Amino acid sequence: MNTDLLELNRAVIQRKANGKTIWQPRIGCWYDDRVFRGEQLPGDFKGFDKKGIYEKIGCSDRLYNFNHCFEIKYDSSVKAYRNKIDELTCEYIYETPVGKINQIIKGNTSNPGQMPVKWWIENRHDLKVYSYIEEAATYSFNMNTYNKIYAEYAHLGLPTMFLPRVNMQKMFIDLSGVENAIYLLSDDKDYVEGYFKALSIGQEKMLRVVADSPIEWINYGDNIHCKLLPPEIYKKYVLPEYEKRGDILHASGKFTFSHWDGDVKDLLQYAKTSFLDGIEAITPVPQGDVTLEEVKEALGDEVFLIDGIASILFNNTYPLNMLREQTKKVLNLFEGQLVLGISDEFPSDGLLERIEYVNEMVNDFNSKRD
């Protein structure tokens, strides 16, 4: 196995790469949309799978497929099942000694995405049931699965994973939706905070398993957006969980980073005090709400930037010279503290030749640091 990209990935996050970076564009959504629609890939990539695209270009993949190594199991008091409602709609159900809850998910015909039409948590009863479910969970790491994925993919980069979301972000995105979560926090604060406590206890069990695993860099898949998660809520609820995660994972030598993929200007004040080694997906203008200079000021020399190039620069919305200039700027501003990627992901109408173009720029940048 050629492990150059794996070793470079490791050297970069350990600050042992002499200022080099690694180019890690995430193309999963772009690729999955084409598979879903039965489309051929463009040009010389016709017939390739996703791994083959990375191999042909010669760039790295952020290997979140190692999440499959971590398994969750509930005790026998929790029963889980599902009912298919129609071709696009499915109901998921948990039954517990303290009650039953359900979620209804609906897909669509244009892409593989799915969205809830009925959320898991919408009232006090649901909070009570989901608290029970969190406390009934146990976690384990499957080394056989790890070895299989490693053998197939590790030549493309360093194994990584993303953790389940913390408290408010889990409510917003996974369990309640934003509107329900805000009303519950306002009207039933004690019940919400009771759930957060149960979740924290459950996730600590997971963190201990992660800390003992061979995965070296760990993402918090929180999808933070300051227009939904204002500073006061971040500071009260999210920050204490990040401190807890940092204490446990840093004690095992893990590199930690969180996914901030919306507007982030109001939260950048916490970039250096959130017990993180890096932040993923901060999106600069012309797409996000911050400049690269503002990001550099907030991260200082301490915190890594993971990604850094606005995704809309990879389609025909903006000319190639804007992609070139933003790439040059991020490479130079964050030299020695950068895993270069697309903030947030390669767009569905993105052009693979632009990924190849950045790959050439990165190779040139790195060659001057040999």
Residue 98 lies in a domain: no
Nearest to 289 by CA among 226, 347, 341, 232: 226
CA atoms within 13 A on the CB side of 364: 11
| Number of domain units in the chain | 1
The model carries a pTM of 0.96
In a domain, 199, yes or no: yes
Kindly give the residue spans of alpha helices, DSSP state H, lying in the chain.
4-13, 28-37, 50-57, 124-135, 143-153, 167-170, 178-187, 189-211, 231-233, 239-250, 292-299, 320-333, 352-367
Residues 6+ apart with CB under 8 A from 301: 337
The tokens for 322 are 């804007």
Output the DSSP codes for 88-101: SEEEEEEEETTEEE
Q: Is 102 part of any domain?
A: no
**305 φψ region: left (φ > 0), alpha (ψ -120 to 50), beta (else):** beta
* Residue 137 placed within a domain: yes
Asked if residue 116 is part of any domain, the answer here is: no
Give the CA angle between residues 141, 62, 359 to the nearest 5°: 160
Domain that holds residue 293: 4-72+121-367
Q: Residue 105 is inside which H or E element, if any? A: strand 99-107
- Residue 150: predicted pLDDT: 98
112 belongs to a structural domain: no
User: What values do phi and psi take at 167, rounded to 5?
Assistant: -5, -90
Give a yes or no: residue 203 inside a domain.
yes
How confident is the model at residue 75, as a pLDDT? Answer: 94
Q: Please indicate, yes or no, if residue 318 is contained in any of the structural domains.
A: yes
- CA atoms of 110 and 36, how far apart (whole Å): 8
CATH number at residue 210: 3.20.20.210
pLDDT at res. 80: 96
Encode the chain (370 residues) as per-residue pLDDT tens digits.
Answer: 466 999 999 999 999 999 999 999 999 999 999 999 999 999 999 999 999 999 999 999 999 999 999 999 999 999 999 999 999 999 999 999 999 999 999 999 988 999 999 999 999 999 999 999 999 999 999 999 999 999 999 999 999 999 999 999 999 999 999 999 999 999 999 999 999 999 999 999 999 999 999 999 999 999 999 999 999 999 999 999 999 999 999 999 999 999 999 999 999 999 999 999 999 999 999 999 999 999 999 999 999 999 999 999 999 999 999 999 999 999 999 999 999 999 999 999 999 999 999 999 999 999 999 8
Q: What is the pLDDT of residue 2?
A: 61
